Amino acid sequence: MKNFTLIIICLISINSYSQKIKGKVFDLETKKPIEKAHIQIGKTLIITDKKGYFSFKQNNKSDHKITISHIAYLTKEIAYGNKKAITIYLKPKAEFLEEVVVKGNKGKNKLGYEVLPQIPNKTHSFASVLYDDKILVFGGDKSYLVEGFKKVIQERPGISILEAIDLARSYVSSYSYSNQLCVFNFKTSKWIIEDITLRKRANHSAAMVGNKIYLLGGKRLTKSKKREYLDEKIEVYDPINKTIEIDNTNPHRAADLQTLVYKDKIYVLGGSVKKKDNGKKYYSNKFHSYNPKNGMWYLLAELPFSEETSSCIIEDVLYFFDGFDNNNNINTMMSLNLATGKLKAQGRMFYDFKQPAITKKEKTIFLFENGKLLTFDTEAKEIKEYRIDLFLFASKIYVQDNFLYILGGYLKTASEVFPQNKFFKVDLRTLSKTKARKYIQL
């Protein structure tokens, strides 16, 4: 009888410490669920799903504390005791979400910004245009990438190689491209998702001629999502009738290509055309033009360089900024006069950007990437660099009235890449009240 009682007590004890714990992780400010938050219980790592949910089995008495972390939030450790369900709120890191508005005190060291409504999708490397007091965002890369072994070594210095390899299996990358069209209306300050299905692609480009938007280039994923291939189709979107037509003729197939509109024609240049398993890329030096009126493509020239670049047209001059060639950043700036065909080296940039977001206002060009905003006055030939606490890559920027808008992109750590849905506004009138970190006249 004593032995039987002892067995019952042991079974009850084992059962009490094998219960399933369920949890939810939310943003403290927005109360929205946080996807891909990392839940660490001892040596076990769990990642929250799209709804912020996670669960685990409590197997021993020491499992009463968990650590919750995410790149955009402050890390939190909690003791959950004997609770079977827990709800956790994470506070956003100030550098990502804090609403900062510069009031105008002369000599500010950094530009301020205002946080705007979030994009419906967390994406980067999307195509986009500014049209009719709206920003249209087409598709984009939603992938979450993680190098598990590197992340474990980074977070747990001194861990053994075998333990690191074992823990690294818990970190899994996910690959996904968007097929949605998200539209922000400046008049209503709201985002909507249009009832239309696009091709799932990323690293593509958009150009508007007349009342039609042409989406071309970029990459698509295979069904297994293990390989990427160049997209050969052109989607022609009519924003008035909200229809899409497919054009099968595109001689400039590349990822991260540049498209620009000049005298009612689309100019297409650069981009990567091939990527090996070791990460090495091959680039295009082709410079094409496309006439939407007759559907004809023309090869204008083979440029003396092949690269991924950021480009902008001011009057008759096409400016090339920085670039990425043969896996090496090149911090040069060049110009091509489209009227005369003259190619000219303008000078060197301050930094080796990867592929900065680019836009213009009158004769000033703006470039943004990873906490740096550059302005280039094409008339005075002045380059100024300002700092801003927005550390984003592969985002897009636009100027509307006196404001610069920064949207999307990804955050990058030594071991992870996180797509973002953040949307910010910078008052350009504060540039004169902010110290330029660097300045050069060409």
Per-residue model confidence (pLDDT) at position 101: 41
Per-residue model confidence (pLDDT) at position 106: 46
Per-residue model confidence (pLDDT) at position 330: 52
Per-residue model confidence (pLDDT) at position 63: 57
Angle between helices 148-155 and 161-168 (to 10 degrees): 120
Per-residue model confidence (pLDDT) at position 396: 98
First to last CA, the chain: 95
Q: How far apart are alpha carbons 372 and 46 in whole angstroms?
A: 34
Total-model pTM = 0.80
Task: Give the tokens for residue 137.
Answer: 């965002």
Look at the block and give the residue holding tokens 């205002």.
114
Strand partners, 88: 25
Q: How far apart are alpha carbons 285 and 303 in whole angstroms?
A: 5
Name the phi and psi angles at 101, rounded to 5.
-125, 120
Q: How far apart are alpha carbons 206 and 183 in whole angstroms?
A: 14
Per-residue model confidence (pLDDT) at position 197: 96
Q: Which domains does the chain have, with CATH numbers?
A: 2-92 (2.60.40.1120), 95-441 (2.120.10.80)
Per-residue model confidence (pLDDT) at position 382: 92
CA 26 vs. chain centroid, Å, equals 22
- Name every residue whose Cβ is closer than 8 Å to that of residue 182 and which is 6 or more positions away in sequence: 119, 120, 121, 136, 137, 191, 192, 193, 194
Backbone φ/ψ region at 217: left (φ over 0), alpha (ψ -120 to 50), beta: left
CA 384 vs. chain centroid, Å, equals 24
Strand partners, 15: none
Strand order in the sheet with 372-377: 357-361, 364-369, 372-377, 382-387, 438-441
Per-10-residue mean pLDDT of the chain, 442 residues long, equals: 42 52 88 86 80 81 74 81 83 54 56 96 97 96 93 86 88 94 97 97 96 96 89 96 94 94 94 84 91 93 81 93 54 86 82 86 95 94 94 96 96 92 96 91 82
Amino acid symbol at 137: V
